[in-house]
Amino acid sequence: MITRLRALGAVALLLAGCTGPPPPKPVDAFQGLLNMSSANVPTDAPVTMGRPVAFMTSDNVENYIGGIKDANEYWGKRIPASLTNTVVMADIDPTYFSAQMLAVLRKHYPNIERVHDFREAVQKGMKGVILVDLKMKWMEPYGDRTNRMHVDFYFFDAGMNPVSKIGGEDEWKVPFASMEGHVQKITDSALQQIDSKMTTLVH
Amino acid sequence: MKDLAGQMHDVGSAYQRMTQAAARARQRAIANPLIQQYVAEAEKYRQCYDRLAINTLDALAKKLDAIDPGDTASLTPGSGTQAIATANRSPDAGAPKSPSGGPPSGTPLAASPSSGQSPAQPSPSAAPVASGTPGSPGSGSCADLRNDIAAMDAQSNALPGYIGMRVQLASLYNKLCGASATQRTEYWYTADGRQLGPVGAGDRPANAAYAATADIGQQCAGTANPSMCALAAGAISNCKSPPSDLSSACAVAGGYGDPADTVAATGGDPLPDAKLTIGGKIYNVPNACAQALAQAGDGGRTTQVVRTCPDDLLAALGQAEGKDPNIDPTAFLSGLGPLLNKGFAPPGAASKGGFDQAFCAQMENNAQVCKQRQDNMVSCIPTGNIQQPCVPQDNTNMSGQAGAFGDCYKLYSRFAGMCRMNANLRPQIATASLPKPPPAPKPVAPKPAPPPQAPKSVTGGSQAPPPPPQSTMSPQCQQLVSSYVAAAQANDGPRALAGYNALKGAGGCGVLAKVDRPMPQAQPAAPADDPRFISRGATPLSDQVVGGCNDSPAECQRRVQQLRAGVSPEAQAALFMNAVSIGLQLGATVANGMAGAMPQGGGGTNMNSIGNRPVQHTYGQGAPTRPAPRNGPSDITGTK
C-alpha cells in the first residue's frame, strides 16, 4: 500500500507541475510585426473585411509553442519515459490551439491564407488580415494555480490598419494533485467566444 | 465561388451601411422626445451588452455634436456641467400640466449658452412631438418608437438581459403611447400583488400598497418595495396620497406629468410580442411571458414562466438549459435566471455578455449626478418681460428642467439596478430618493423673453392634438425587415442579398430609404514598403505547428482527436494504472532487495536457550536395523 501511495504521490507531483523552466513573458501583440502598439485598437468594433483575407500569428504564439517545447524537453530529461505524464502533454500540446484557431478562421473565411508578416500580406494582395495573439498564464504550482488563456484576433483592413480586436478568455484553477489542467477546454471556450463575436461583428 | 464571395462582401457592406444609416435615422429623430429617450435608454443598455450598438451610437453622438452640441450633451448627463437639455424634450414635452398649475414642463431655466438659443424659444429640433408638423425634426411618433423597438427585437434579442430591457421599454411605450385603454389603466394592488380596483374609481383603498397597470403590477408583485418598483416603471398613480417613502420619488416622477395629458391619450398600436432567439430560432414572447422571464432574470419568482410562456419557447429554454421543464420543472426554473443573464449560452459555456462593474458604478454615479442637479435646479415662469424674462418657480422637483433631471436620475437608477440584476433595485432608489430640503431659489440671469405660451388647462386638454400615427409597419414589412436583418446578422450573404432585394422590391417599407446608401470607398491597399511594417524574423515553431495545421487541416484535426482522447478519463485512468503498476513493481523490487539482505539459513537461532530441547531425529535403544534418518534442517525441502 505504501508503495502504491508513493507512486501516486510521484505522479501527483508531476501533475501538479513542478517548477520547470519559466514560461515566456507576454509581449505586445504587434511586436516584431508593426511599428506601433496594439493597445489602442478598438475592442469589439464591427468590421467588414475585404477579400481575400490572410492571417498570421504573433510572437506570443511563437513563444507559447516554444515554452511548451522547452517544458517538455526539460521534463523529458528528468522524468523516466514510463512516468511521462501523457495526459498533461496531450492537454497542452500546441497543435490543439493551432487546429482550433484555424477552424474558427476557416469557418468565417474558408479560403484564408497564412502569411508570415504584413509585407507578405500586401505582396499577396490581401484585403484583410487577422493577427492571432495568445497570452497564456500557466498555473503556478506554489502560487496562483490558474491556467488562463486569452486569445485576441486583431482585424486589419486593406490598408493594414488595425480596426478591431475581438477577444476570448477562459481559465481553470487546477486543484492540487489534479491532472485536470483543462487547457484544451479553456482553449475551446476562448475561441468559441471569439467565434460567437465574429458572427455578430465581422462581415 | 469568387462571385459568391464578392456578393457576400457586398451584402456585408450593405449591412454595415444599414447600421450606420440607422444611426443617422436616429440622429434625425433625436429631437423627438420619445425617440430621444429611447435612444438614451438603448445606448445605456447597449453599453452593457453590445459593442456594435455602442459604435453606432458613438457615431450618432459625434454627428449630433456637429449639428448641435447641446444635443450630444443631453445624452451624457454625467459629463460636464451643462444642463441636460431634455426639459422640452422630456417624455411629457407635449405639454403635460404642471401639478402646481404653473408653466408646462417644457420651460427650461436655461439652455446651454453655447447653443445660442433663447431658452424660451424652442429650437425646431425641440419641437414637441404633438406639434404635428410633418417633416419637421419633431415629427417622430409613437409609431417610430414602436418600429424602433421592433427593430431592436430583430437585432438584439439574444443579448444577455435583453428581455428585462424589453419589458422596461414596453412599459415605457405603454405609458407614453398608451397602446390600449386596458394597458393604460392603473389598478390598486395589495402588497402581495392582489388587484383591488381601478385607480380612477375612487380614493386609495386602505389596504392598497401600490398602483400600477396590470402588466407592471404583475412585474412588481412580491418585490421588496412594490410601490417603488411600480413607480420606477412609470406607474405614477402611486403618487396619489403617496406614503412618505415615496414622496421624494413622486416628485421625480412628476417630471413626466400625467400620462392622460400626453400622447398616451391618443393611443398607439400595440407593441408586437417581444422575440427571443434561442439556438438560432426566433420565438415570440407574449408580454406576460416576457415579464415573467424578466422577473426570473432579476432573481425573482419564476413560477409565472411556465404559466405564461408558450410551450415551444419553454421547450427551447429547457433545451438551452439542458433541463426539461416537463421532467424537472424545479431544476428548469432555477436555471432560468442564469440562462437569461448569460444570453442563452449553453451550460458550462461562458456568458455571451454581462455586466461590467465599472459600468454599473458609472450608472450609479450618473444617477446621483442627475439627482444632485435636480435638487439644485429651479424652473422659471416666463414673464414676457425682456428685462426680467422669468421668475423663479418653486416647484423645483416637479417639472421643467428639474423634471428632466429627475427623469435622467430615474432612468440611470433603473439601469444601475438592472446592471446588478440580482441586487435589489428598490432600496437603492429609495435611499437615493430620501427627501432633501428644497434648494433655495437661485437668482436667474436675465434672458431674452420667451414667446408667450399657450395656456394649458389643468385637466390636461392643453396639449396640441398629436399627429396621426405614421409609418406603422405592416406585418409583411416587419417580416421582410426581420428576415433581412437576421440574414445579415448571420452573415448569410445570399439570403441577406435576397432580403435586401425583397425589401427594396416592397418599396423599402419606409425604413430602407433611411438606411440605404452607396457602397463605401474601398480602403486603399497599403504599400509593401509601408514604414509601419517590420521585416519579421523567423518563426520556426509557428511554421511547424500552425503552418503544419494550415497545410494539412485534415491531419491536424485527426491529431486534435488524438489529443482529446489523450485527456479523456480513460487516458487519465490508464496513466494512473501505469503509475500504480510501476509503483508496485518498484515495491516488489524493493521488497526483494530487503529479502536478499536478510541472513539466510544457519545463522539463526533455534531458541535452545529458552525452549525445550528439540527432538532428536534418531533412534534410541532398540533401534531398527535400518539407517537413522538424516536430521539436517533443510532436508524436507529437498534442497540438500
pLDDT band at residue B408 using 50, 70 and 90 as cut-offs: low
Closest listed residue to residue B455, CA positions, set B127, B138, B98: B98
Query: Bigger pLDDT: A198 or B12?
Result: A198
pLDDT tens, position by position, A3-57: 333 333 333 333 334 456 777 889 999 999 999 999 989 999 888 888 899 999 9
pLDDT tens, position by position, B366-400: 667 666 666 655 444 555 565 555 455 443 444 44
pLDDT tens, position by position, B424-445: 222 332 233 333 333 333 333 3
β-strand partners of A54: A113, A129
Using a CB-CB cut-off of 8 Å, the residues of chain A touching B545 are 65, 94-95, 98
Helices in B439-526 by DSSP H: which ranges? 475-489, 493-505, 512-515
pLDDT for B205: 82
Using a CB-CB cut-off of 8 Å, the residues of chain A touching B579 are 7-8, 10-11, 83
Across the range B396-422, mean pLDDT stands at 50
What is the residue-wise DSSP string for B166-216? Answer: HHHHHHHHHHHH-S-HHHH-EEEE-TTS-EEEEGGGSSPPTT--EEEEHHH
Q: Show which of residues 319-378 on chain B sit within 8 Å of chain A, judged by CB atoms.
A: 349-350, 352
What is the SS3 assignment for B370?
helix
Residue B593, pLDDT above cutoff 60: no
How far is residue A132's CA from residue A93's CA, in Å, rounded to a whole number? 18
pLDDT tens, position by position, A85-131: 778 888 899 999 999 999 999 999 999 999 999 999 999 999 999 99
User: Given an 8 Å threshold on Cβ–Cβ distance, is B532 in contact with A95?
Assistant: no
Cα–Cα separations (whole angstroms), residue B210 to A56, A59, B192, B221, B497: 61, 62, 10, 9, 51
How far is residue A2's CA from residue A22's CA, in Å, rounded to a whole number? 33
Residue A135, pLDDT above cutoff 90: yes
Cα–Cα separations (whole angstroms), residue B227 to A163, B219, B242, B367, B477: 48, 11, 9, 20, 40
Across the range B168-181, mean pLDDT stands at 63
For residues B108 and B453, is the Cβ–Cβ distance under 8 A? no
Q: What does the DSSP 8-state code read for residue B534?
A: -
How far is residue B270's CA from residue A49's CA, in Å, rounded to a whole number? 40
Cα–Cα separations (whole angstroms), residue B89 to B122, B346, B404: 10, 42, 8
**Which cell numbers in the block locate residue B588?**
516488489
**Which cell numbers in the block locate residue B387?**
428685462
pLDDT for B291: 79
Give, for B585, the enclosing helix (H) or strand (E).
helix B569-597
For residues B489 and B155, is the Cβ–Cβ distance under 8 A? yes
B572 contacts chain A (CB < 8 A): yes
pLDDT band at residue B411 using 50, 70 and 90 as cut-offs: low
pLDDT band at residue B584 using 50, 70 and 90 as cut-offs: low
Q: Out of A35, A44, A49, whose CB is closest to B531? A: A35
Across the range B553-558, mean pLDDT stands at 91
B542 contacts chain A (CB < 8 A): yes
Task: Identify the closest residue of chain B to A118 by CA–CA distance.
Answer: B533
pLDDT for B578: 65
Closest listed residue to residue A152, CA positions, set A130, A177, A184, A183: A130
Distance from CA of B534 to the nearest CA of A (A): 5
Chain-centroid distance of CA B542 in Å reads: 40
What is the bridge-based pairing of β-strands B186-189 and B210-213?
A: antiparallel
Task: Identify the closest residue of chain A to B545 by CA–CA distance.
Answer: A95
Using a CB-CB cut-off of 8 Å, the residues of chain B touching A42 are 55
Distance from CA of A101 to the nearest CA of B (A): 9
The pTM (predicted TM-score) of the whole model is 0.38
Residue B109, pLDDT above cutoff 60: no
pLDDT for B509: 77
**Which cell numbers in the block locate residue B361?**
458604478
Please give the mean pLDDT across all residues of chain B.
58
Q: What percent of chain B has pLDDT over 90?
A: 4
β-strand partners of A131: A56, A154
Residue B15, pLDDT above cutoff 60: no
β-strand partners of B211: B188
Residue A71, pLDDT above cutoff 80: yes
Cell 422596461 belongs to B168
Chain-centroid distance of CA B522 in Å reads: 34
User: Given an 8 Å threshold on Cβ–Cβ distance, is B491 in contact with A196?
Assistant: no
B279 contacts chain A (CB < 8 A): no
pLDDT tens, position by position, B346-369: 555 544 444 455 656 666 676 676
User: Given an 8 Å threshold on Cβ–Cβ distance, is B539 in contact with A118?
Assistant: no
β-strand partners of B285: B274
Query: Bigger pLDDT: B342 or B260?
Result: B342
pLDDT band at residue B524 using 50, 70 and 90 as cut-offs: confident
Cα–Cα separations (whole angstroms), residue B313 to B168, B277, B278: 21, 10, 9
Using a CB-CB cut-off of 8 Å, the residues of chain A touching B565 are 90
Indicate which of A8, A33, A95 best probes the interface with B, i.e. most B CBs within 10 Å of its own CB.
Answer: A95
For residues A11 and A82, is the Cβ–Cβ distance under 8 A? no
Cα dihedral A79/A82/A86/A88 (nearest 10):
-30
pLDDT for B600: 44
For residues B17 and B515, is the Cβ–Cβ distance under 8 A? yes
ipTM score here? Answer: 0.88
Q: What does the DSSP 8-state code read for residue A202?
A: B
